[in-house]
Structure 1
């Protein structure tokens, strides 16, 4: 059966074609204009960037996307005066590198291609190694692509440039945060956090000034320090800056230990240095990746220790600790604070009637409703069983009472039956206790006040919100919570 496609549905494919073509064209022009006349490029970032794009955005890795990249590269060569045969061949070599690297990285699960594990670094290393080897082998099969070099020198020159460039650029692209995460980043570095970066910059300047073959290793201790202190993406950026700086310095003959009398000697030293630089930055990348895994594991362990596994609410011990910290801050800043104690009405009856599996689902769904309505600075914890608590900073009694009534209505109107058959609804009773801006009480006193209000709500028929401040005779103005 033939299915008609609306013209508007072809727009994404058209955009994909245009985007990939222009990106390949512009990147190729950059590489062409920065290479010496009559020679291969000393730094060709095109392949690494396009490979990173394919891995980060699998939607581009379609036959149309691959064809657009190849055509964009050819168009750049033809624009700068290259002949058709050589343009087709050299760019076929570039495409072979991208395809080989892409095939190797596909062996990794997609969730691990973001350099989050040391295993991913090794896969990336293999992808760069095999891709550069395949590309270099294809490049020497034509005599007019040797640029007056021997086959061995041409192969090593192509291989070393592609291997080192990909190994420096690809980690940055794979470890980069998504655009939404970048927009949410807040850049605040105290001076102590800048010390590893300053050490790296100093070591780079020192390596250029001292020179010699061993100078390429001068920045490694500082780069290792950065790997310990900074996040993986930052380390990949610093490794890229370090590698490019040293490659440019070597190319400009600033780090050579003696004057070079021949172009061949210069190229041999440059190729050796490029390979050495690429291998040296692997250590900091693997270290940073290992530390990132440990940090993620520690965050998971901390979350598991501080949160209830069923409801996602804070465990009683964690809630008590955070609530005490909030009260201490309140006493210093002279701000109001409110505590809400919540109890699910007749929860035992739900377990007896529907079973504990449904009861667990009710607890989880109830917690999800409340967590979705609370701000990030408001604490939500499970004290035990069907008892929960909310700590609201900068909330007066009237605001807390209105918030409690709003949450009560949200829970009362929610259908919590996971089967979707007969509606299953619950109600909650809530006790509210508030401390004014200049009022000082301990957490135990505040919880006792809220517990008195909760008992009052239960004794008056449940499914209601009561405030201790009202019980003690204080008057509250009615507030409509939005």
Structure 2
């Protein structure tokens, strides 16, 4: 009986829109249930979260996607007992804020859109302000049947809440690393400095204890310190935490925050929201600048350490690490044997002359990758220049390291490099130098000179072979 081939299931195209619909429905229900009865929400993060989701998933930012968001919001309102007229209109206000923020931010380059530049952060503040204005204006159009306050008070209430919540929530979503980036950086993660975080928590406590309008500025120094110490994503989380804490404290009258009512409709909470939203601008911009500087320094350090073509250590980086290894051996493990191998690709100039430098670069990359696949942790591998490479093997004397060198020679000989369907034979000559156990180690310069002499003999005697330094033969 014939066996039918197994077919992998194709991901459904309906799944992402359904996820967007379910996310909107859940967020809206949570926001409705959390707000006070017959009052606007203290926080309404739904709009900011959905704008961030659509910016991070542009395929869902389609007419169908926006229609699903609106439908889910309306259904959530109706399920919680709202009449259909306010449900339709107020969620149109929410949709207007989401669409405005998305429209303005989606036109920025990805670097700005992900808040990796100060310009992107400033643009985000402008987009949040525009989205809040659209929502507040639409709310005022139909405010009379449902609000007792004046149009001015209604507009300020909507604007202050939408603007402050968007400014606090959106940076977290836009700077959040992808799961792949988290997996890739998990092994390289460094311990987080606790001092800036503890100072921030202390300053927030002092804000509540002292109270008054000026108290909302107490955490600014700690937030700036955090911006210099942490990633933009972590700083965004901290600004969200600090800002929401201060807004709740003001709303609950824990800070004795009062505003002179010289302007009709301006309440304490409105003033606090706007002040706190503008307060986090400085730390977010500084976090972008600091992250950009750290990335630049990391790239410069990588370029100074790693050969860009082969991925091996550069000559200068190898010199530093090899000297450090020899110094450590002399001070802590004087009995440890050590071997230095000098490797040179045979007839490499002929490959360049016959096939061009692009093919030569391809051969260098394949050569280096093959060697790296056969090396162990703790062994140094570097490109000295051209087709010449060097390997330092701690723990093996030259006599024992011959077996390692032979394994590498065979791996290169078996390397299948092709160009224009033509096989390119690649072989390597290797020179060894080093010191046996309990023997004093020569300087790096002497090891390199001895290995280079052995390499010269290997080439003179026919190439594709291994030779050991004469001085090392006498020592062993």
TM-score interval w.r.t. the shorter chain?
0.7 to 0.9
C-alpha distance after superposition, 1:209-263 (max 9, x if no partner): 00000111010011111111222222111111110110111111111245999xx
Q: Is 1:200 the equivalent of 2:197?
A: no
Q: Is 1:231 the equivalent of 2:231?
A: yes
CA RMSD of aligned residues (A): 3.2
Runs of 5+ consecutive residues of structure 2 not aligned to the other structure = 1-6
**For residues 204 and 260 of structure 2, what CA distance do their matches in structure 1 show?**
22
In the other structure, the counterpart of 1:447 is 448
**For residues 294 and 302 of structure 1, what CA distance do their matches in structure 2 show?**
12
Query: 3-state DSSP class of the match of 1:13?
Result: coil
Work out whether residues 330 and 337 of structure 1, in 8 Å CA contact, stay in contact via their aligned partners in 2: no
Work out whether residues 227 and 235 of structure 2, in 8 Å CA contact, stay in contact via their aligned partners in 1: yes
In the other structure, the counterpart of 1:480 is none
In the other structure, the counterpart of 2:113 is 113
**For residues 404 and 87 of structure 2, what CA distance do their matches in structure 1 show?**
68
C-alpha distance after superposition, 1:387-431 (max 9, x if no partner): 1113345667688555544443443344445x5342333221223
Distance 1:245 1:434, change over 3 A: farther
Distance 1:352 1:105, change over 3 A: same
In the other structure, the counterpart of 1:77 is 77
Cα deviation, residue 289, structure 1? 0.7
Query: 3-state DSSP class of the match of 2:116?
Result: coil
Aligned residue runs from structure 1 range 340-351, under 5 A: 340-351=341-352
Distance 1:439 1:16, change over 3 A: farther
Q: How many residues align?
A: 463
Distance 1:421 1:204, change over 3 A: same
Could you list the structure 1 runs, at least 4 aligned residues long, displaced by more than 6 angstroms after superposition.
395-399
In the other structure, the counterpart of 2:326 is 327
Q: Is 1:428 the equivalent of 2:428?
A: yes
Q: Is 1:274 the equivalent of 2:247?
A: no
Distance 1:407 1:77, change over 3 A: farther
Aligned residue runs from structure 1 range 47-446, under 5 A: 47-143=47-143, 146-183=146-183, 184-185=185-186, 189=191, 193-257=193-257, 268-331=267-330, 334=333, 337-371=338-372, 378-392=379-393, 401=402, 403-417=404-418, 420-433=420-433, 440-441=440-441, 442-446=443-447
Work out whether residues 433 and 472 of structure 2, in 8 Å CA contact, stay in contact via their aligned partners in 1: no
C-alpha distance after superposition, 1:19-42 (max 9, x if no partner): 212211221122112211101111
Query: 3-state DSSP class of the match of 2:141?
Result: coil
**For residues 76 and 396 of structure 1, what CA distance do their matches in structure 2 show?**
74
Cα deviation, residue 456, structure 1? 4.5
Runs of 5+ consecutive residues of structure 1 not aligned to the other structure = 1-5, 476-482
C-alpha distance after superposition, 1:330-371 (max 9, x if no partner): 455536654332101012222333344443443344334445
**For residues 467 and 364 of structure 2, what CA distance do their matches in structure 1 show?**
22
Work out whether residues 132 and 163 of structure 1, in 8 Å CA contact, stay in contact via their aligned partners in 2: yes
Work out whether residues 232 and 291 of structure 2, in 8 Å CA contact, stay in contact via their aligned partners in 1: yes
Cα deviation, residue 62, structure 1? 3.6
* TM-score (normalizing by structure 1): 0.85
**For residues 389 and 162 of structure 2, what CA distance do their matches in structure 1 show?**
59
